[in-house]
Structure 1
Amino acid sequence: MLDLFSGACGGWSLGMERAGFRTLAACEIDPWRRRVYGANFPHARLYDDVGALTATRLLADLGGRAPDVVCASPPCQDVSAANVRGRGLDGDRSGTGFDHALRLAAELRPRWLALENSPRLRTRGADRVLAGLEQIGYTPTPVVVGAWHAGLLHRRQRCWILAVTDTPRAGTAGWGSPGRWLEFAQTHAGAGHPADADEVGGPGRRRRAECGEEAGRQPAEPVRLPTHEERRRGRNGSDQLFPHDPPWVHAGEKLGRSLRGFDGVSDWLARACCSAFGDAVVPQISYAIGRAILKTEADLAAADERRIAA
């Protein structure tokens, strides 16, 4: 996979790698975020400016190995509801970010493209994104899913667009033999959590497990959807969505104040940490997306095998 606009936390990479994928490369323009991401994913090749990134450069740097999945979380400043004057995809940051994500998808032709952004994208440019995906040969499916749907203690509604194409890469006969996807997908899609398989995550996987296991751990219990009462309280601005919510999950400002309460934590670092949390993709959701992709490919490959056998 290729992780565009990765941020510091690397939520796309964390979830997808735990599902069984491997991050070949990532792109993040902010130097601080890029350094943090590089420490967490030392095996991924890093790029700074998505505008200067091309398929030719990527394939040359990666030895001709193209990603099967491109994940992208373009800047949301022009889309977010927090920006009451936001111009959506007419804004410089969000519009340019989505343009480059679709440009790279058109150049690289990955089998799957996964996009994430603010739920306000529904009224601030989703139609243009969906039309653009269809123009370059992808079939998109948009959905709004929040962190609370994954069993977490905060809402964090986000718009997710998962797109797939059957158009092969230029110069190839297809996406590889059914056996290739079947072998890969069956290895990971039906397996349990690959926490003890270093080869799945590559170099640094064990260290990341030791340092950040709690942050990326999948819920041990089945996901419990919020009750009607919990949804009502959340809409009415209750200070706690669930009875035992820690207060900081509802306000980044409170988190910033708590960070500044520790000795040695500067105001800059506190703001940077809060900003990084705000950029982050919930890894439980990207994990579910990765597993769904693998299951879909396994089902398609198995159907192809049956047709060939018949």
Structure 2
Amino acid sequence: MSIKKWKGALFALGMGIGIATSLPNSVCAAETKLLQTVETSLQPDSAALPRRTEYGYTAEDVDRAIERLLSYETDPVRWDIQRQLYRNSVWYSPESQYVDGNGKSYLLVYEGAATNRKQLSYELLSGLAFFPNARVILNTRDKRILAGVELNRPFTEGEAYRNYQSLVRLLGLVDEVKAETAGKSARDKAQWICDYVAGRLNYDFTTQQNSLQDVVGSRKTACVGYNGFTELLFRSAGLSYVSMIATNKENGIMHIFGTSKLDGRWLIFDTSNYDNENGVYDKSYIFSELEHEQLNYRDFNLLQSERLN
């Protein structure tokens, strides 16, 4: 089996998500149930420890870093969801420590209006910056929705600080790419970024490393990390980018990649398949038409509510 035929491992356990989309080339997907809904009762952890240690950074430092990282985002709902997903993962707060009815630990990564559920689900399916392949529980009550990441043990200040260090390194990579692509045409920017992503990363066939944290750490990740990094760099450089998922025809594994509008056309950018692991990039996976992805994948769904037109 060729690498590109079975690359792709998208995990978003514990979420129920319905997605209605309009795809390029008249490929439309109806409202589709992708994963089984799991609802459970999440409650604040009364035994959560207060902040005890200073690690040399403040909540204001966190907010400034996140605002810089998300400076491209103009949609207020997406901005707030992403802001919370980052912030609660890099800044320890006892108010973010939750447990379920069995006492299992969760980190609350988002709380907002229940009407944001669909967009929250899109963002979670696109992957968390931290906690690769984590089980995420959605808890809706009193017109509010909470998203909690299941943990094997309570979240700690030390873990939050390590995540913050990864966030700062990620911001440095974004600044580097913005400087290197400044003044280039949109097409040249896209090509430079795809080469940069493929040159920096190696594919993790165990799929245990699958997040932006792995992009700045081990530099080894599966399709979620490749796509998340590509989207971040495209949008930071002023390019459009909409994430898309599909199902591998051969093994049923979900795969994530993106599409960007260049010269009036929505084109596919699948950087995890572009990085062909043999030192020669497979150029057929960038600047390509959707029909190319249909050779190996099916059941295409957009991960944003907007239509491609």
TM-score norm. by structure 1 comes to: 0.24
The structure whose residues are more often helix, as a share, is 1
The structure whose residues are more often strand, as a share, is 2
The structure whose Rg is larger is: 1
